[in-house]
Amino acid sequence: MSYPLLGYASSLVARADESVSLHLSRESGPESYTAELVRIVCGDNSPGGAGFKERLVDDVTPAKLSVRKQPLFTGSFGLIALPAKAFDFAQGFSVTCRFFATTPAIGRRQCLISQQEIESGHGWSLGIDDAGRLEARIDDKVLHIAHPLLARAWYQAALCYERNTRSAVLYLTPLRRSPAAHGRLQASCHVDAMEAPDAPIVIAARGSDLVKLGRGEAADHFNGKIECPAVFDRLLEPAEVDLLVTVGHADARVRGLVAAWDFSAETPSSRIIDVGPSGLHGELLNLPTRAVASSEFDSSAMAWTERPSHFAAIHFHDDDFEDARWAADLEVRLPGKLRSGIYAFRLTSDCATVVERICFIVAAPPGGTGARIAFLASTLTYLMYSNMHSATDMAETEAKRGLWMTLGPAEIFLNEHRDLGLSTYDTHSDGSGVCYSSARRPLFSMHVGGNLWALNADTHITDWLEAGDFDYDVITDDHLHQSGTAILQPYKVVVTGTHPEYWTTEMLDALETWSQTGGRLMYLGGNGFYWRTAFHPDKPWLAEVRRAESGARFWKTEPGEAYHSFTGEYGGLWSRLGRAAQRFTGVGTIAVGFDFSSYYRRRPESHDPRVSFIFDGVPDEIIGKFGLIGGGAAGLEIDSADLALGTPPHALLVASSEDHSRFTLLVPESMTSSIAYHNGEENPRVKADMVFFETPEGGAVFSVGSISWAAALCHGGYQNNVARITANVLLRFADQTPFPMPFTPEPQEAIDDRDRQ
């Protein structure tokens, strides 16, 4: 499967009067393209939908581009660029490290640490051979330990060379608490006199020419963890090797230390710190995983900030990815009066056979434009879903459940091109979970004209806002994280997208503050406010999630690895952190089902005078028995109210969905026993709840608790009860008239406490 043209914008989010660059790679087909800037109103081109709608931005001159193929490099490693004659090896050298191989018998070489010249191969390396045995190379000499390495076991390795005797010794020692049964093993050989190589030190890979240029290409990538690598300027004796096995780090009793890298230092950064005498600090390329359990981890501390020495390892993968680093093909300064919204560079080949759109968001300026309504684009969620492979990885499993999956061009292409970087819904080639995502690459979750998910699904809301001629701005997760409540203050109403799942602490704090001071929130999605997430402190195009304890997830966090490396915060579900979505929206995730969508039935509370405005002009008892996703307005991922998790006691549950299929299943955190009935046919808890409640200072919240709600807005030319209810709420929420807080009886516990006093 081929996508002729791939690309990404320099940033997911920009503002008017800022510059945005376009980075492209031609995979096949035409070389020449015309680039135009368009505003995306509706990205849905599915049959029976509202129709694909875009508007050309006349203020930006079309550009003619000649596009070439640009490379992608995957696989992480550490790079230490050495000053001239950093090592002279006059007496010899030794190199040591601890390692935990996750795929030792992968059928190819893997390098733990190396210093080799690219063209001549002169130098040394310590690694694993294609049979899964510890291997060392000094120039053209090869040593290996015959005993095969165990997967997921900690070892200490050492390569020691003495120049006078021209002898080299390779040591392998399993560490305590390791499943490996043998003691120290060794192998030795005679080596010709070796001069120090003119090359950088590379950790977890072997370098190539582009390593010196910082482009990210290397070879023989290692899968697994490495800890405390060190270099000495002489041969270490067996007793000294044993001492390092015991103490775990370079010790003052072992002479000749040149460099020792402490991977527990500066964990949020991409730097690796040399605590030896030479200050040979290095850089991590392609984003290996930090804040992981190391050989000293014993569960006495679960946070890397609490006991760094127990998290002094880095987990490297051969499919890690950080930044495509493609050269820019076009740079455009956005017009100063450009309206906020979803935009794309539309690229059309000269023969008009190829049309591709590279999307990004133009956010409203600080302080807004005077509109009372803001649509909050879920850019963080778009990023975390980018380039997921679950459709192809799970196709066989779904078929066994009796479900057929339709694979589109994007899924097939991504399955064949994993060098585009993985999704946080994927696992690495060694089975460990992907916890990082980068915006500096082609992002298929930002595509329009395909699956009704992520950005494309959210265009149902922007299309409906345009069709209703509502005056609104677009704001984004990125700016909400950076600026907090300042982004929200200009607006009376904030409308979410269909799936605002990922939230940083800063984002949630800002929304809660705004909502409790008169703000009005319309939550038009499902599975929102679910995972705690973190942005990189210095590289805002990178985000992180740790899937701790529970939740609907495709992988689970390893013991001791639940704290974000970017921030040190404990990760996982916001509900497990005491900030369930029910506190903010009245509803929270209850079930998922991807076969059919259902409908809502009004409840008696829908006739309460407090919510009469919601159902003005809606006599129907059944709401949303139609829609582009599964044929109904309640589906995919659905949310329900729960007083125990924080749904306000004065909230009105005005409608609930029903008649879900047996494949609509409770999420794991909602089950206490695996033998309990948990599907939509058997469990009345499987439902989407429509909720309204007032908040302090005249604010209010309206939630629908369903991803597929927005896909029903355009039904019948926007003339339907889903669209009417949504418009009723938006118009009332945009009105300045305060919502009075209803009288709520004092809880009995408070009355009892007062009487006792």
Task: Specify the CATH architecture of the domain 77-316.
Answer: Sandwich (2.60)
Beta strand pairing status for 587-602 and 634-641? antiparallel
Question: Can you give the pLDDT at residue 49?
Answer: 87
| H/E element, 511 | helix 505-515
- Tokens 């499993």 sit at which residue? 397
CA 733/CA 523 separation, integer angstroms: 12
pLDDT-derived band at 358, boundaries 50, 70, 90: very high
Question: Can you give the pLDDT at residue 532?
Answer: 97
| pLDDT higher than threshold 80 for residue 539 | yes
Task: Please provide the CATH number assigned to the domain covering 5-72+324-360.
Answer: 2.60.40.1930
Question: Can you give the pLDDT at residue 211?
Answer: 66
- The pair of structure tokens assigned to 252 is 């003052």
Query: pTM of this prediction?
Result: 0.93
| pLDDT higher than threshold 70 for residue 214 | no
| Cα 9 from chain centre | 18
Q: What is the mean pLDDT of residues 285-296?
A: 96
CA 628/CA 610 separation, integer angstroms: 31
| pLDDT higher than threshold 80 for residue 9 | yes
The neighbour count for residue 523, using CB atoms within 10 Å, is 26
174-178, 473-477, 718-722: which range is least confident on average?
174-178
**265 burial via Cβ count (<10 Å: 0-12, 13-18, 19+):** middle
* Residue of 318 and 672 predicted with greater confidence: 318
Going from N- to C-terminal start, the domains of the chain cover 5-72+324-360, 77-316, 370-734
Q: What is the mean pLDDT of residues 195-216?
A: 78
For 659-687, what is each residue's pLDDT tens digit? 999 888 888 888 776 666 666 667 888 99
| pLDDT higher than threshold 70 for residue 396 | no
**DSSP state at residue 145:** E
* Residue of 405 and 608 predicted with greater confidence: 608
8 Å CB contact between 707 and 457: yes
The neighbour count for residue 747, using CB atoms within 10 Å, is 10
8 Å CB contact between 88 and 196: yes
Question: Could you tell me the strand order of the sheet in which 502-503 lies?
Answer: 502-503, 531-532, 572-573
- The pair of structure tokens assigned to 454 is 């992520």
Question: Can you give the pLDDT at residue 164?
Answer: 87
CA 454/CA 676 separation, integer angstroms: 32
CA 370/CA 471 separation, integer angstroms: 9
Residues 6+ apart with CB under 8 A from 563: 291, 302, 303, 304, 305, 546, 569, 570, 571
